[in-house]
């Protein structure tokens, strides 16, 4: 099948949730989760899916090649540094894709060339040529990126771009790797490079913006206005440091402000909410409540004045409809007496489609929850299903626990875990009930991971609301996050900790490299 073309007003959407998104501390996804995300992106109409960085680990290689084999419509890209081994590995990983792409990159800014690469500019130019030529030996669709492009000297950037296109690159990406640029500057950069590089008409130009100053989306759109026709972005804006430009914001800005942004994308916007939820569940990265487009409050009108206006005419305070991003008005109320079919329909309404086994498990958990909680809100069901998706293949599961808390310590926890199909029980004391619970887990599953984050919030209102606990663990520079919900905060805590451990074990097994920047770790006590 053909390479993507972006003529006129059409802007290609290049999703890098599975690569730049997954690369950020704690956002690791399992193999199965990656396939699920890739399937959804394909169905949603994303033009290019960057599936991973094949040389990074066996796990990354396997995920990229499995995604390459199953994706039906989208181009499947793998990332490679300029080294020939990287490119060969990437070529191998994407070779079964219907529409394969190799995305190769090299730093071009003075600071990166001097300190990171320790190369002279002429050596970098040679590497650009050699890497693109090598990639073209595998595929026709080759993207070349100038890492730290926005801090690169303009003349040198133009020379690199010209050489990359001459060597066969069909897409040229100029990333704002460090999230430093501003819209006017990024606009001028694209305009100048496109005008100055003699063969620029032979390639599609691409934007790739990080959000360190909160301008990733604005910068990306400025690049599009200057002629770029590919936007690299991630679901929920996840990514290195402050993240990447958020796909849902780019797509909805283009759709909602077509008067000033006369472009089109092929993304089915009614799938945005579902994609956001899936990625949040798979990565355990909660979506900020007031996040544009997909945040819980994005379409909520709380103040009296706003509610009054909305009742008179929705457009008084709404610039796009909830339905346009896949938020549907809820019609079915779930409870103790709800049947499987109603539950299945409710899940559909909320944007989930589960296989028969997962549906049965989720349904049983709904029933158990309904026995303990008077009103089941949509948020309760979302928390329950997210957990179901995230823990379906876990080796360790929480079976039962009894915790003794109160004013006279030490507090203690008796915990039973299912570890690879065998039940094991232990009792442990601690400085507070959470500490006791985590100590019990530690003695059943010895590990050296350090608890970096422990956070609790209520899923809904009321004293019987489910507690949602987020946990982040760090071991030898590898970080994993997980969350879990339960009406009992301590059960949610144990489940979240165990879920993070499960992810850590997968990371260990697949030999995922340690992350580059690790925050100082500290064991939480007395919680
Ligand atoms: O931010 C960046 O420069 C990147 C490149 C690898 C494209 O992610
Ligand atoms: Zn990036």
pLDDT of residue 132: 98
Q: What is the pTM of this model?
A: 0.78
Quick check: CB of 103 below 6 Å from ligand 1? Answer: no
Decide: 177 in ligand 1 pocket, CB within 6 A.
Answer: yes
DSSP codes joined into one string, 466-489 = PEEEEEEEEETTEEEEEEEEESSH
Q: Is the CB of 234 under 6 A from ligand 1?
A: no
- Considering the domain architecture, whether residues 321 and 346 belong to the same structural domain is answered as yes
Same domain as 350, residue 235: no
User: Across residues 170-188, what is the average pLDDT?
Assistant: 98
Distance (angstroms) between ligand 2 centre and the Cα of 63 equals 19
Answer yes or no: do 86 and 221 share one domain.
Answer: yes
Closest ligand to the CA of 176: 1
| Arithmetic mean of pLDDT over the chain | 89
Q: Is 53 in the pocket of ligand 1 (CB under 6 A)?
A: no
Q: Where are the alpha helices (DSSP H) in 202-264?
A: 216-225, 247-256
Mean pLDDT of 340-361: 82
Q: Is 105 in the pocket of ligand 1 (CB under 6 A)?
A: yes
Q: What is the pLDDT of residue 330?
A: 55
Q: What is the pLDDT of residue 202?
A: 98
Distance 210 CA to ligand 2 centre (A): 6
Least confident range of 140-149, 201-210, 294-303: 294-303
Neighbours of 457 (CB within 10 A): 14
pLDDT at position 512, please? 53
Q: How confident is the model at residue 226 (pLDDT cuts 50, 70, 90)?
A: very high
Class of residue 448 by CB neighbours under 10 A (exposed 0-12, middle 13-18, buried 19+) = exposed
Residues 145 and 183 in one domain: yes
On whether both 98 and 183 belong to a single domain, the answer is yes
Give the model's pLDDT for residue 368: 87
Beta carbons within 10 angstroms of residue 185's beta carbon: 13
Instruction: Say if ligand 1 is within 6 A of residue 145 CB.
Output: yes
5 is a domain residue: no
- Is there a domain that residue 154 lies in? yes
Ligand 1: centre distance to CA 173 (Å): 9
Domain boundary residue, one of 254, 283, 312: 283
The pLDDT-based confidence of 478 (bands split at 50, 70, 90) is: confident
Give residue 65 CA to ligand 2 midpoint distance, Å. 21
Q: How far is CA 27 from CA 115, 183, 527, in A?
A: 28, 28, 25
Are 410 and 444 members of one domain? yes
- Which of 137-146, 381-390, 459-468, 469-478 has maximum average pLDDT? 137-146
Same domain, 146 and 88: yes
Tally of structural domains, the chain: 3
DSSP label of 286: P
Is a pLDDT exceeding 80 seen at residue 2?
A: no
> Which residues on neighbouring strands pair with residue 264, listed in sequence order?
10
244 CB less than 6 Å from ligand 1?
A: no
Please give the average per-residue pLDDT across 242-269, as a whole number: 97
Least confident window among 69-78, 184-193, 286-295, 380-389: 380-389
- Residue 89 shares a structural domain with residue 222: yes
Look up the domain containing 420 and give its range: 394-510
Report whether residue 175 contacts ligand 1, using a CB cutoff of 6 Å. Answer: yes
Domain match, 358 and 494 both: no
- In this predicted structure, the answer to whether residue 510 has a pLDDT above a threshold of 90 is no
pLDDT band at residue 29 under the 50/70/90 scheme: confident
Q: Give alpha helix (H) positions in 3-83.
A: 31-44, 58-70
What is the C-alpha separation between 24 and 367, in angstroms, rounded?
36
**What percent of the chain stands above pLDDT 90?**
63
Q: What would the mean pLDDT of 374-379 be, rounded to a whole number?
A: 77
* pLDDT tens figures, 380-420: 888 888 777 767 778 899 999 999 999 887 899 999 999 99
Examine the domain organization and report whether 425 and 364 are in the same domain: no
Question: Is residue 286 lining ligand 1, measured as CB closer than 6 Å?
Answer: no
Instruction: Tell whether 229 and 183 lie within a shared domain.
Output: yes
CATH of residue 263: 3.20.20.70
Distance from the alpha carbon of residue 171 to the mean position of ligand 1, in angstroms: 14
Give the CATH number of the domain where residue 477 resides: 3.30.160.270
* pLDDT for residue 436 is more than 70: yes
pLDDT digits (tens, 9 = 90+) for 38-83: 999 999 999 999 999 999 999 899 999 999 999 999 999 999 999 9
pLDDT exceeds cutoff 80 at 95: yes
The pick from 145, 176, 179, 233 for probing ligand 1's pocket by mutation, whose C-beta has the most ligand atoms within 8 angstroms, reads 145
pLDDT in tens, 98-141: 999 999 999 999 999 999 999 999 999 999 999 999 999 999 99
pLDDT of 513 over the 70 cut: no
- Whether the predicted pLDDT of 317 surpasses 80: no
- Nearest residue (CA) to ligand 1, atom 5: 147
415 plus 304 within the same structural domain: no
The residue to mutate among 147, 164, 220, having the most atoms of ligand 1 within 8 angstroms of its beta carbon, is 147
Main-chain phi, psi angles of 513, to 5 degrees: -65, 150
Q: Give the atom of ligand 1 at the shortest distance from the alpha carbon of 16.
A: 8
């Amino acid at each position: 099948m053909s390479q993507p073309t972006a003529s006129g007003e059409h802007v290609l959407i290049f999703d890098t949730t599975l690569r730049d998104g997954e690369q950020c501390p704690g956002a690791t996804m399992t193999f199965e989760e990656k396939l699920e995300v890739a399937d959804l992106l394909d169905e949603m109409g994303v033009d290019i899916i960057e599936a991973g960085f094949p040389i990074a680990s066996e796990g990354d290689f396997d995920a990229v090649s499995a995604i390459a084999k199953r994706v039906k419509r989208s181009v499947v890209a793998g990332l490679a540094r300029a080294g020939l081994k990287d490119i060969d590995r990437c070529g191998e990983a994407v070779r079964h894709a219907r529409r394969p792409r190799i995305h190769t990159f090299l730093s071009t800014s003075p600071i990166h060339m001097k300190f990171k690469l320790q190369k002279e500019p002429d050596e970098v130019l040679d590497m650009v040529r050699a890497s693109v030529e090598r990639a073209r030996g595998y595929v026709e669709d080759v993207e070349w990126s100038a890492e730290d492009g926005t801090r690169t000297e303009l003349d040198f950037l133009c020379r690199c771009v010209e050489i990359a296109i001459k060597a066969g690159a069909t897409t040229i990406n100029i990333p704002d790797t460090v999230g430093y640029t501003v819209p006017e500057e990024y606009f001028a950069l694209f305009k100048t490079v496109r005008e100055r590089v003699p063969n620029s008409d032979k390639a599609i130009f691409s934007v790739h913006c990080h959000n360190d100053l909160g301008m990733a989306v604005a910068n990306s759109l400025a690049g599009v206005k200057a002629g770029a026709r590919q936007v690299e972005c991630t679901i929920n804006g996840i990514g290195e440091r402050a993240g990447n430009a958020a796909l849902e914001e780019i797509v909805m800005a283009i759709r909602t402000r077509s008067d000033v942004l006369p472009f089109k994308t092929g993304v089915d916007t009614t799938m945005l909410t579902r994609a956001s939820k899936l990625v949040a569940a798979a990565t355990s990265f909660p979506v900020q409540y007031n996040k544009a487009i997909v945040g819980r409050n994005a379409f909520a009108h709380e103040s009296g004045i706003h509610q009054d206006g909305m009742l008179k005419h929705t457009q008084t305070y709404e610039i796009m409809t909830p339905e346009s991003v896949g938020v549907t008005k809820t019609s079915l109320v779930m409870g103790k007496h709800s049947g499987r079919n109603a539950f299945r329909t409710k899940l559909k309404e909320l944007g989930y489609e589960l296989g028969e086994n997962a549906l049965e498990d989720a349904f049983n958990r709904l029933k158990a929850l309904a026995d303990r909680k008077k009103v089941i809100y949509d948020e309760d069901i979302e928390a329950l299903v997210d957990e179901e998706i995230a823990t379906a293949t876990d080796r360790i599961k929480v079976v039962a626990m009894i915790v003794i808390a109160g004013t006279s310590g030490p507090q203690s926890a008796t915990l039973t875990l299912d570890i690879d199909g065998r039940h094991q029980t232990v009792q442990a004391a601690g400085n507070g009930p959470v500490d006791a619970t985590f100590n019990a887990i530690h003695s059943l599953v010895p590990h050296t991971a350090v608890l970096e984050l422990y956070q609790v919030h209520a899923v809904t209102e009321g004293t019987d609301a489910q507690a949602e606990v987020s946990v982040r663990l760090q071991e030898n520079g590898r970080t994993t996050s997980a969350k879990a919900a339960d009406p009992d905060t301590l059960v949610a805590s144990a489940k979240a900790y165990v879920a993070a451990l499960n992810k850590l074990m997968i990371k260990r097994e697949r030999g995922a490299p340690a992350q580059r920047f690790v925050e100082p770790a500290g064991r939480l006590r007395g919680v």
